[in-house]
């Protein structure tokens, strides 16, 4: 683990600091070329290409008939879980469900003038493909944080792609979580090839209207390249955390939360921001003490800002996936935060609770995309249809203005659409 230090004394320092912090997570140009080749292979070869790449990238030999996990395997995985783990997953499922239900928009209609009504109807995207990472760790929590919001949004056909373990099986806890989601299909496919399969369809995997879920740079790049043919949720790549601290909270809380994010991925972004030199020095001492105890790569970035105003500007420009406010006036600072995937307020709100049990989905924008993107929610899995309804009186009330505007734009046949009704 590396420890980097930065100092921001003026606004001009922010851009340089951000470039240094994010340089390890920039996607190399050759990654896009590799992913494009994978997409082309899936397009041409379908299931056969998935089988070949599962052998090549995961070291697992499967027949095409083994790509899908059976319903019996899902149920067996759930039943074989230890009771305390099963209860923990059920509690998480209920929390995610409650948040998902509250986050959904409702159908509405409004009479804006006598005889004129407008409104919106919500409809689920269906089917939906969801990528769940594998590899170094298993993520049953991600199954719940994506599948439950999709279910509550009304998606009837949920397709999971989860990389197989060396045994050829999908992690049992992830399968148990899928069983909790309910009616769904699970495939033993990982990487960019899984995203391509869900976007384009193969003999076994159905073509989806949308793809959601986090992943490494290859998965994220595949989603971006395929966004012209399928809807995607957001850019959810290597994990990120920024912790804004002062001397009011035990520094070990902040350093532990930084290390927790670095545990995810060597490309994870972990940043501590403070206006106190003493706090930064204390954090450095804590992190140095952990160096010999951790066996993962990554960089902890400690940023000293000369003022609270510069600290907030830097945080908003960083737009981190997770932001912890570990300062004495956290609630007062919150209105100034404009860009973050999810904000965790106070010393007893660590990111890890958001990862597993709080309720909001932990699938959040990374790479600074929180400036323009929101985190995944049940509403992500829906599209909106606008509705317009006129009575005869309402039509007569708006026809003159609509006809005048059509002729202003030189669209005579548009005006004729009004005229023929007036003549009748």
Dihedral through CA 69, CA 74, CA 75, CA 79, nearest 10? 130
- To the nearest 5 percent, what fractions of the chain are helix, strand and coil? 50, 20, 35
Q: Tell the burial category of 376 from Cβ atoms under 10 Å away from its Cβ (0-12, 13-18, 19+).
A: buried
Token pair for 118 = 């407008």
DSSP 3-state of 189: coil
Q: How many CA atoms lie within 13 A of 185 on its CB side?
A: 19
DSSP class of residue 407? H
Residues 421/396, Cβ–Cβ less than 8 Å:
no
185-187 vs 210-212, strand pairing mode: unpaired
- Of 240, 322, 324, 362, catalytic: 322
Q: Could you give the CA distance from residue 67 to residue 49 in angstroms, rounded to a whole number? A: 12
116-124 vs 299-305, strand pairing mode: unpaired
DSSP 6-48: EEE-STTHHHHHHHHHHGGGSPPHHHHHHHHHHHHHHHHHTHH
> Is 322 assigned a catalytic role?
yes
Residues 207/159, Cβ–Cβ less than 8 Å:
no
Q: How many CB atoms lie within 10 A of CB 424?
A: 5
- Of 240, 321, 324, 362, catalytic: 321
Q: Quick one: residue 37, left, alpha or beta (phi over 0 = left, psi -120 to 50 = alpha)?
A: alpha
| Gyration radius of the chain's alpha carbons | 25
Provide the annotated active-site residues: 321-322
């Amino acid at each position: 683990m590396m420890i980097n230090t930065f100092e921001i004394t003026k606004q001009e320092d922010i851009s340089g600091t951000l470039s240094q912090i994010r340089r390890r997570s920039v996607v190399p140009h050759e990654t896009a070329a590799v992913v494009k080749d994978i997409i082309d292979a899936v397009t041409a070869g379908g299931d056969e290409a998935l089988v070949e790449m599962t052998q090549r990238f995961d070291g697992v030999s499967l027949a095409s008939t083994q790509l899908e996990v059976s319903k019996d395997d899902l149920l067996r995985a759930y039943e074989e879980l230890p009771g305390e783990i099963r209860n923990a997953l059920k509690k998480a499922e209920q929390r995610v469900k409650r948040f998902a239900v509250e986050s959904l928009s409702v159908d509405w209609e409004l009479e804006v003038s006598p005889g004129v009504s407008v409104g919106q109807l919500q409809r689920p995207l269906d089917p939906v493909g969801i990528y769940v990472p594998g590899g170094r760790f298993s993520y049953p929590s991600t199954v719940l944080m994506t599948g439950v919001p999709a279910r509550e949004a009304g998606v009837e056909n949920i397709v999971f792609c989860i990389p197989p373990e060396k045994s050829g099986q999908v992690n049992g806890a992830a399968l148990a979580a899928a069983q909790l989601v309910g009616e769904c299909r699970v495939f033993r496919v990982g990487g960019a090839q899984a995203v391509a399969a869900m976007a384009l369809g193969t003999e076994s995997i159905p073509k989806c209207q949308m793809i959601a879920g986090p992943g490494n740079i290859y998965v994220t790049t595949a989603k971006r390249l395929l966004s012209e043919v399928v809807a995607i949720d957001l850019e959810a790549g290597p994990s990120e955390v920024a912790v804004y601290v002062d001397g009011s909270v035990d520094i070990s809380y902040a350093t532990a939360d930084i290390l927790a994010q670095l545990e995810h991925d060597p490309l994870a972004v972990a940043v501590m921001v403070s206006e106190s030199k003493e706090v930064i020095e204390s954090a450095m001492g804590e992190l140095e003490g952990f160096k010999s105890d951790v066996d993962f790569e990554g960089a902890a970035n400690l940023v000293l800002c000369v003022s609270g105003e510069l600290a907030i500007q830097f945080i908003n420009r960083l737009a981190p996936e997770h932001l912890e406010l570990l300062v004495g006036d956290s609630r007062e600072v919150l209105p100034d935060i404009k860009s973050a995937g999810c904000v965790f307020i106070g010393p007893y709100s660590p990111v890890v609770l958001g990862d597993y049990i709080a309720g909001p989905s932990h699938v959040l924008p990374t790479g600074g995309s929180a400036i323009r993107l929101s985190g995944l929610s049940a509403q992500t899995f829906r599209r909106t249809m606008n509705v317009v309804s006129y009575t005869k009186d309402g039509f007569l009330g708006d026809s003159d203005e609509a006809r005048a505007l059509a002729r202003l734009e030189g669209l005579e046949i548009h005006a004729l659409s009004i005229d023929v009704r007036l003549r009748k």
